[in-house]
A and B are shown apart, each in its own frame.
Chain A
Amino acid sequence: SQTIHQWPATLVQPVGSPLSLECTVEGTSNPNLYWYRQAAGRGLQLLFYSVGIGQISSEVPQNLSASRPQDRQFILSSKKLLLSDSGFYLCAWSPGGHTFGSGTRLTVV
């Protein structure tokens, strides 16, 4: 069966520090992979999606970047975090409908 792992579950980082969130998928090959952000009281904002290794589509220009170094690994990064980067970050894979990871609660202080 397919599973998706996302870590860490919670993270508190100071403004200006770097960020690396990792997502891995098991039990499938060549999945579409996604990063979403959910700000408090708001819906899901698609940040990046990837249809293959090294292929990244950015939906919203911002302080974040994504990489897909391996088929089932998707990484969300930032060189310098802003307060506005706080939120709940969700990784998902497809096709056929998303399967979501359990999320990372990021608080930038």
Chain B
Amino acid sequence: AQSVTQLDSQVPVFEEAPVELRCNYSSSVSVYLFWYVQYPNQGLQLLLKYLSGSTLVKGINGFEAEFNKSQTSFHLRKPSVHISDTAEYFCAVSGYNFNKFYFGSGTKLNVKP
């Protein structure tokens, strides 16, 4: 079975500052990794995913994440955040069959002016 840990429940940051949202996973098998964003009262939207290839993955809205197998991490980064990035972010893993996904508990990013 897999599990996901998002180490920070809330991250406050000022506009135009860089941000990193941390995600660690545990699994006895190889996994696929995902980041999702959720705006208030909406469903989740896929930001980016790592399936194979380059460990640095670029997604929408200027976000990127790096897969580190030795650290079992998949941290999400953005060099300069905007007010509109205020939302909750979820890290997730799945096995290669995509049958089951395991989500972290979420990190609320609060961008301040």
Residue numbers of A with Cβ under 8 A of B are: 6, 32, 34, 36, 42-44, 46, 49, 51, 88, 90, 92, 94-103, 105
The 22 sampled A-B contact pairs (Cβ below 8 Å) are A32-B98, A32-B99, A34-B101, A42-B105, A42-B106, A43-B103, A43-B105, A43-B106, A44-B44, A44-B106, A46-B100, A46-B102, A51-B99, A90-B43, A92-B43, A92-B44, A98-B34, A100-B36, A100-B43, A100-B44, A101-B43, A103-B42
Most chain B Cβ neighbours within 10 Å, of A42, A44, A92 = A44
Tell me which residues across on chain B come within 8 A of A32, comparing CB atoms: 98-99
Residue numbers of B with Cβ under 8 A of A are: 32, 34, 36, 41-46, 49, 90, 92, 94, 98-106
Given contacts A97-B34, A103-B43, contact A44 B99 (CB under 8 A): no
SS of B interface (majority): strand
Please report the number of residue pairs spanning A and B whose Cβ atoms sit closer than 8 angstroms: 57
Most chain B Cβ neighbours within 10 Å, of A42, A90, A100 = A100
A-B pairs, top 3 by smallest CB distance, nearest first, are: A100-B43, A43-B105, A95-B98
Tell me which residues across on chain B come within 8 A of A100, comparing CB atoms: 36, 43-45
A99 to chain B, nearest CB (A): 7
SS of A interface (majority): strand
- For the complex with contacts A46-B100, A100-B45, 12 further pairs of A-B residues with Cβ separation under 8 Å are A36-B103, A42-B105, A44-B44, A90-B43, A94-B98, A95-B98, A97-B34, A98-B36, A98-B92, A100-B36, A102-B43, A105-B41
